[in-house]
Amino acid sequence: MLYREALNKALDEVMQADDTVVTLGEDVGLYGGSFRVTEGLVEKYGEKRVIDTPIAELSIVGNAVGMAIGGLRPVAEIMTGNFSLLAFDQIINHMAKLHYMSNGKIILPIVVRFPQGVSRQLAAQHSESYEQMLCAVPGLRVLSVNDVNYAYHALKYAILSDDPVVFIEHELLYNKKGEVDFTQKLNPFQARIAKEGRDITIVSYLKMVDDVMLAVPEIEKELGCSCEVIDLCSLNPVDYETLKKSIEKTSRFVMVEEDHKTGGYGGQIVSWAAEEMFYALDAPPLRLAGKDVPVPYNRTLELLSIPTPESIARDIVAWGKKNDV
């Protein structure tokens, strides 16, 4: 099953089981979504539950907030994370806070979905990542999706949750293939161990997990070591317990993210490691991230602006040799 098919199946099953679930966004109806995640749903559930909206992101999330207050379970699709900036007032000041400001009287079972990140030559205004800002907002749960099985289970959980959830996908993962265990009772807030190892803990999320996995054979060959790769899955809250167990085993920690390094989300994870795991570490943590530049359109420069499997392998091998891995 493809990543986008897993998301579509999750939406379909929840909409079939619960008629309070609706989805809205630009082109989610007749076109089936910009990345085909809502394909076929308007034919099954009609235009009152699969709602094509104008190009107005603030209105999309604002209407979803109103729907949630009124008793529905809306799933708002924003075409890309870059456009979610236009909806930040609704996301931050209403979606995240109304439950607390109403002393718990208002419940907001709402999901805002969008893809983000560097794709292929979409340039600076369509290649950004905003998890660092969204994870800094108390009241929001933020999930990031790399794995096909996780995509299916986590989206179903998010829609049926009474908490507001930001559900982050990646534009280059929609055609990724994977197996789905439909019988699994998956905890969406638990990090996923993508590969077990004993010498280096490498933590990442979204597409960078796949790039790390491509880099691992070269790292293990050059350093003669074994890498453990962890997909964070939930960015807020973070499953620190899984990270703690891994670092206690390996004593070495690397964080890999696509976002710009300055102010990027990975700084939070490295800060935690420095504060809580200092005496378990045999080397300073390594953090690999995007360059502090607007993402270039030129493909060569675009690839130079973010970690790639080649640069990840090169930088971790150099760090490993320097720190006696």
Catalytic amino acids? 57, 126
Token output for 29: 């109806």
Single-letter amino acid code for the residue at 123: A
Number of H helices, E strands in the chain: 13, 12
Beta bridge partners of 22: 74
Going from the C-alpha of 160 to that of each of 10, 42, 142, 300, the distances in angstroms are 11, 20, 15, 42
Asked if 208 and 172 count as a contact pair (C-beta separation under 8 A), the reply is no
DSSP H stretches of helix in the chain: 3-17, 41-45, 57-69, 81-84, 88, 98-101, 131-134, 148-160, 208-223, 240-250, 266-276, 299-304, 309-322
Query: What is the rounded distance in angstroms from the CA atom of residue 307 to the CA atom of residue 290?
Result: 6
